Structure 1
Amino acid sequence: MTLGDTPDGLFALDLDISMPPRVAAALRRAGITSTAGLLRLSERELRALRGVGGKTATQLMAVLDGAGMRLAPDAWGAYTCARDSKPASDAGLAGFFLCDTCRNEYSVRAFGGKDPEWVSREDIEGNCGHCNESYRDLRLTQWFLCGVCERVLRSIGRGLASAKYVLETWKAENIEEQTGLRLRETDPPQLRPRGRRTDLDRVSNPDFTLYDQNDVPVAGFELKSGKKAAARGDGVGDPMSRFQLDTTDCDDILTVVDRESFPIYLVHAQIIGRANPPTEIYRGVGLWWADLWSMEDKFLSVDVRPRETRNAAYYKPTMFRPIREFSPFVQEGGIAANQAKLEQYGPPSLYTLKEGGHPA
């Protein structure tokens, strides 16, 4: 059945879909005379038809959507990122060696219930790419992910390893026995879909909170991890030339300081991936800390992060001190002195933007 007039002045396509006359006329001129012929086209092919402009294509897709119909998938179109739920030009298959628990966590928490594109049948011995634990029944699991989301997901596994390393180091260095302070993880790394945070998620909390013997919170740790050491002589390899921290993370730190009225310390964990073929295991090899006033003193500039659009503040890594110096710092009244400074002067500035809000 071909395009024809309907009594209400709209045109009909196989008498299944009513649409504005201008849209139907454009389809007729392009040789599209049936619903079946239309639905064989992808959006890209529709927009490429002579005489079908962007406005006409948009109107037509709205008509199809109202009728519960869709154009054909584009065989050459961008893949949809499982975490972002949007087509992305750089999306491709990303593979993770996961245990059963973490595979389910990925699907439910990060991908909104989306099943993997593919899961290997073979049981693989090695370390889970998320929880970092050793298993004999890992499976290689694939989803379509854009570059940003793949980097974020892989960084969460590193973040879990770094948080565990902080707790292990706190115990190994006998810091609680030396200072009387208990360390609790209060904001663990979590899987979530991109850009979807609950009101509770949006509340900035320290990654770790330090409690005195009366169970009163007295300070917090903001944890960051990376592959490089913060200083020569500790950790492994050459130290970083400068330390990078998103300006949004700086803002979150100051938000916590304002709300909790106690000092926050920035902690850097050097986490190195080591091959456990075909998997990888994350190992912590160095830990450093810096107070907010050292950050202010060692601030360099604000620049746009490579490959992204977010601003990051850069600092001289000499602001960091090795974790072995934290107990003496506390014993000598360092936290109390920082608390007094906060109460008298307020928190320091962690970065400076140029006029107009541009990177400095």
Structure 2
Amino acid sequence: MQFRGSEVAIAPAVQNKLLRAQVISIEQLITLNERELRSLPNIGPAAVSSILAALAESGLSLAADPYEEYECARHSDLARDAELRSYFLCGSCRDAYVQLALGDRSPQWVSGERVEGYCGHCNELREVRLSQWFLCGTCDRVIRSVGRGLASAKFVTSLWADMFRGMPELSLREIDPVRLRPQVRRSDVNRVATADFVADDMSGSALLGIELKTGRSALPEGGIGKPMSKFQLDTTDCDDIRAAAATLNVPVFLLHAQVIGRAHAPTERYEGVGLWFARPWDMVEHLEAVRRRPRETRDAAYFKTAMFRPFAEFPAYVNDAFRADLESMRRDGFPILYRR
């Protein structure tokens, strides 16, 4: 049997492999997609590359695969778990998704129906429309976390204004706001660490920094639902806290905000229901272990949740005990938050 298709310069050895796989002509070959071609016996990656190159030279190609992976709109690569992800967004936030996070990619689909509900990004009650993009699971979680993070920052700012009303000389300033970003692979060399918030004194000098983490779970003494048993913090986040403290030359405190979703059908609004703080010195005392996160490539430090105290106690701490901690840091340095 001879392979029919001499007008396409497929190497004889590869032609023989196709014949053994019962593919006898170019016409038959181009009815296959790449996945089907790779599944044929004796057709390995080298043979597939040779076939694709020969077809391209003749202006031909394999068939499209109806089950091929979708391309994630955020990291611009094929992903097996990329699928249509749906978001209720107001018009301005939909534009922000396109311009700031998804590489100028318009949605795959936008509903013609306009409903009054909470925008999944700005968390404001507005006219919203359902919008869909192809996104992988990781990028979907990152995108959704931004709206929750924005709600968390507003929650912290509001509580600070309420609880520090008696200390107007201490003003809170957000210096690393949560924002939409495209996926950027940053090396540790290029990593710039800064606190999320800085509290300034009357002279405008930084007095303390705050690193804010947001989640759905509560901690002991407050919040909604069963408290988490352990608190996980990526070691890179621990490094960032220490680097920010060195840059500011003031202590940086860890805050955990519990932000939950409440239905406003068909949308959802985010609401802050709990806030806690941890002194860096207490973090050191309550460190349990450093290990790899499950199903991930990142290391995390695991802390006992007893290191946290309700944020309602923070003003009294700042007023009574903070100065001693500030002097301790400037004398002995900021504590090392974990050791491997």
Find the aligned partners of 1:69 and 1:203 in 2 and give their Cα distance: 48
Give runs of aligned pairs for residues 54-69 of structure 1, distance below 5 A.
54-61=45-52
| Partner in structure 2 of residue 261 of structure 1 | 249
Give the Cα–Cα distance (whole angstroms) in 1 for the partners of residues 229 and 92 of structure 2: 38
How far 1:221 moved relative to its partner? Answer: 0.6
**Superposition deviation, residue 44 in structure 1:** 0.4
Written as runs of structure 1 = structure 2, the 5 A alignment for 1:1-360 is 3-4=5-6, 13=8, 22-23=13-14, 26-27=17-18, 31=23, 33-34=25-26, 38-61=29-52, 71-136=62-127, 138-175=128-165, 177-178=166-167, 180-196=169-185, 202-232=191-221, 234-334=222-322, 336-353=323-340
CA deviations on 1:12-46 (whole Å, 9 max, x unpaired) are 51xxxx56554455456653643x65554322012
Letter of the structure 1 residue corresponding to residue 5 of structure 2: L
- CA shift, 1:218, in A, is 2.4
State the one-letter code of the partner of 1:167.
T
Q: Which range moved further: 242-251 or 58-67?
A: 58-67
Scaled by the length of structure 1, what TM-score is found?
0.84
Q: 1:80-122: CA deviations, max 9, x gaps?
A: 2222222222222211111111112222222212222221110
Aligned letter for 1:189? V
Query: Given the superposition, is the C-alpha separation of residues 129 and 314 from structure 1 closer, same or farther in structure 2, using an over 3 Å criterion?
Result: same
> For each residue in 1:30-87, what CA deviation from the matched residue of structure 2 results, as whole angstroms up to 9, or x when unmatched?
53643x6555432201212343211111344456678887543321223222222222
TM-score (normalised: structure 2) = 0.88
Output the CA distance in 1 between the equivalents of 2:153 and 2:240.
Answer: 18
Counterpart CA distance in 1 for 2:313 and 2:59 is: 65
- Change in CA separation of 1:197 and 1:349 when aligned onto 2, cut-off 3 Å: closer
Query: By how many angstroms is 1:198 displaced?
Result: 9.9
CA distance in 1, matches of 2:306, 2:29: 64
Question: What secondary structure, in the 3-state scheme, does the structure 1 residue paired with 2:167 have?
Answer: helix
Q: C-alpha offsets along residues 287-346 of structure 1, whole Å, 9 cap, x if unaligned?
A: 111111111111112233344332221111111122222222222251x32332222222
Query: What SS does the aligned partner of 1:190 have?
Result: coil
Give secondary structure in 2 for the equivalent of 1:125: strand
SS in 2 for 1:192: coil
CA distance in 2, matches of 1:157, 1:257: 27
Give, in angstroms, the shift of residue 179 of structure 1.
5.8
Cα distance in 1 for partners of 2:95, 2:231 equals 35
Q: Which runs of 5+ in 1 are unaligned?
A: 5-11, 354-360
Matched residue SS, 1:108: helix
Q: Distance in 1 between matches of 2:276 and 2:225?
A: 15
SS of corresponding position for 1:275: strand
TM-fit CA distance, 1:128:
0.5
Q: RMSD between aligned alpha carbons?
A: 2.7
Report how many residues are paired: 337
Instruction: State the Cα distance separating 1:197 from its structure 2 match.
Output: 5.2
Q: 1:53 to 1:328 in 2, by over 3 A?
A: same
Q: CA 1:340 to 1:39, structure 2 compared with 1: closer, same or farther past 3 Å?
A: farther
What is the identity, as a one-letter code, of the residue corresponding to 1:3? G
Where does residue 357 of structure 1 map in the other structure?
none
Change (3 A) 1:24 1:317: same
CA drift at 1:193: 2.6
